[in-house]
Amino acid sequence: MDQYQKILTQYWGYSKFRPLQHEIITSVGEGKDTLALMPTGGGKSITFQVPAMAKDGICIVVTPLIALMKDQVENLKSKKIKAAAIYTGMSKHEIDITLENCVFDKELKFLYCSPERLATTIFKERIKQMNVNLLAIDESHCISQWGYDFRPSYLRIADIRELIPNTPVLAVTATATPQVVDDIQDKLRFKEKNVFQKSFERKNLVYLVRETEDKDKYLLKIVSSVSGSGVVYVRSRARTKEIAAILNQHNHSADYYHAGLSNAERDHKQKLWKQGKTRIMVATNAFGMGIDKADVRFVVHIDVPDTLEAYFQEAGRGGRDEKTAFAVMLYHKSDKTKLQRRIPDSYPEIDEVRKVYDALGNFFQIPVGAGKGVSYDFDMAKFVKAYRFNIIHAFNSIKLLQQAGYLEMSEEVDNPSRILFIVGRDYLYKYQVKNAAEDAFIKLLLRSYSGMFTEYRAIDEGELARRAGVKPDVITGYLIKLGRDKIINYIPRKKVPQIFYPEERLGLKSLLFTKENYHNRKEQYEKRIASVIEYVTHEKCRSQQLLAYFGQDKATRCGVCDVCKKRNELGLSKVEFDNILEKIKKRVKENILTVEELIDSVDEKHEQTIKVLQWLLDTEKIVKNVEQKLTWH
């Protein structure tokens, strides 16, 4: 048993690695820059956590997803592995304390940070003092302008590499086209190309597209005919609650999930679903980060997503136990129009984007030339009401400003209250002797939480109130009093997104949008929309279509999707079907023929030729012109 296997067993309890994990870990362990492409549920985090545990020093993990960051830190702590995180929304003092611990606490093994934090002066100074054994880049497709979720803050990672030149990089992602694969390695300045790619093919996952006039009714049909747990994805928070209610009315145990719920609510709902007490989770795309339930038997998309990358990731949450699962896309003819309508919504006119930027500066009362490196609590509803913006256009304008590098917006995260004792134990003892009322509360704090003298610790005022037998307001009063007396730093709970300015606020004349950071990205988005429309409307093996999109052009038919099932019903073997299809294709491309002429020209049984030809006509691979002659479409 090698050291990596020992670490895997000791901390994660697994007896063996999943396919490709060990090869990736070995590559990183040898100091090689490495790109790992592994589908959702493939165990990406293991590939950087295990090699980091095998060496002295700390692993820095860059990820844009604060919720996932916090989840992974808690998971590591539960395994008695020290980990910390830095992200938008933390105070300067919290960040300072965390970085200080990363320099001097040799037992601290992981620092998770959001990409915009890498460019700050304090981070650059402290990283030089750290013994960094690995730089791990999660969601690494975000570094590519060709990726579906480009974030310019990722481009700063290459500058960090110059400060730790001997530290290898591991970039991981679940979805990347061949163009993005090359771009990731280029932007991260890989010393040489080095890619480990697990096939995107999921043989146990049955992809289905069902065209229907009544999606809710069809969903009920699916959940009645497929046993086991499932996920139903919708685009809006309101629809999660509505669909869950419909399912419950028909005696299907369901709950709803979206980013607007509190941490406690989300954790509770997720726990019941994982335990099988709730059968179906109806959710927005907020559901899925860190979810690893093996026995999901179906994933249904009621609303068609706008990228195949997003669909592939979400559909891939089904069947992780390698048993048959169904990924079903429900489609209505109106969905095509809805998808195309998202293009102008996602790319408002540049003048409107500029107005949103200017309004944000006024909203936060930032003078031109100020604001660099500062985060601001952001209430979107209040903002759009104050400046009378369309909320969808305002949200997408902020995304465009983020992609252009002018600001960063974090997702809405429920940040619990945090405290740090800022006096030593001797001074604290003297304070307790002089302040009998606060003494009992301080003892309650010290009994309830550990480590508050070295780092900020999350606390729960409600739980403290329950233990003390008082109302939460009393607890809050004590915390405020200790803060005023300079015994603790107290940061009350917040649940709002943050806007972060990596650079100072600019005047409108200085706010530039190049062809690259607007028009080219809009064209890429239009192509992604077109790919989704082609997926749901084109009669070609669904698995082949998805695999081709991610660069696996030579994949064979899956034989189980809705398109393959139709072909299978013809009563022909794959060899027979493909043989006749190639002959028909050759004849039609060579000559303009009628149906009768084509059938006579193909040297096969007429009955079999007619079956294949009818299938090609039904799927519009062959079409008739006004003269009833055949052409290949």
Domain spans in the chain, listed from the N-terminal domain onward: 3-197, 205-335, 348-413+496-517, 417-491, 570-632
Residue 477's pLDDT band, with cuts at 50, 70 and 90, is very high
Nearest to 212 by CA among 199, 203, 221: 221
* Residue 41 pLDDT level (bands cut at 50, 70, 90): low
Give the pLDDT confidence score for residue 573 in this predicted structure: 76
**Residue 239 has what pLDDT?**
95
Matching CATH topology for 3-197 and 348-413+496-517?
Answer: no
Question: What element of type H or E holds 183?
Answer: helix 178-187
3-state secondary structure of 412: coil
Rounded mean pLDDT of the chain?
90
Residues 14 and 612: their CA atoms lie apart, in Å, by: 49
Q: Give the span between the Cα atoms of 444 and 261, in whole angstroms.
A: 29
Could you read off the pLDDT of 86-100 as tens digits, one per residue?
987 788 889 999 999
**pTM tops 0.75, yes or no:** yes
Residue 625 has pLDDT above 60, yes or no: yes
Average pLDDT over every residue of 483-503: 89
pLDDT in tens, 125-134: 999 999 999 9
The model's pLDDT over 142-200, given as tens digits with 9 standing for 90+, comes to 998 777 778 888 888 999 999 999 999 999 998 888 899 999 999 999 999 999 988 88
570-632, which class in CATH? Answer: mainly alpha
- The architecture of the domain spanning 348-413+496-517 is Orthogonal Bundle (1.10)
Average pLDDT rounded to a whole number, residues 454-475: 91
Helix or strand (DSSP H, E) at 136:
strand 132-137
Average the pLDDT over 447-453 and give the result.
91
Q: What is the pLDDT of residue 85?
A: 93
When pLDDT is cut at 50, 70 and 90, the band that residue 205 belongs to is very high
- Is the pLDDT assigned to residue 1 strictly greater than 60? no
* Pairing mode, strands 169-173 and 132-137: parallel
pLDDT of residue 587: 83
CB atoms near residue 134 (< 10 Å):
25
Any idea which architecture 205-335 has in CATH?
3-Layer(aba) Sandwich (3.40)
Range name among 40-49, 337-346, 352-361, 527-536 with the lowest pLDDT average: 40-49
pLDDT surpasses 60 at 352: yes
574-591 burial: b if 16+ Cβ within 10 Å, else e: eebbeebbebbeebbeee
Highest-pLDDT range among 252-256, 558-562, 568-572: 252-256
Looking at residues 456-483, what average pLDDT do you find?
A: 92
pLDDT at 289: 63
Mean pLDDT of 547-552: 89
Quickly name the fold that domain 3-197 has. Answer: Rossmann fold (3.40.50)
Contact predicate 338/218, CB 8 Å: no
- The rounded distance, in Å, linking the Cα atoms of 366 and 507 is 11
> Rounded to the nearest 10 degrees, how much is the dihedral formed by the CA atoms of 478, 482, 488, 490?
50
For 513-540, what is the mean pLDDT?
Answer: 90
**More confident position, 339 or 494:** 339
State the average pLDDT over residues 380-404. 94
Give the 3-state secondary structure of residue 114: coil
List, for residues 568-619, the tens digit of each pLDDT value.
Answer: 767 777 778 888 888 888 887 877 778 887 788 777 777 888 888 887 877 7
Q: For residue 87, which amino acid is it?
A: Y
DSSP codes of every residue in 45-93? HHHHHHHHHTSSSEEEEE-S-HHHHHHHHHHHHHTT-EEEEE-TT--HH
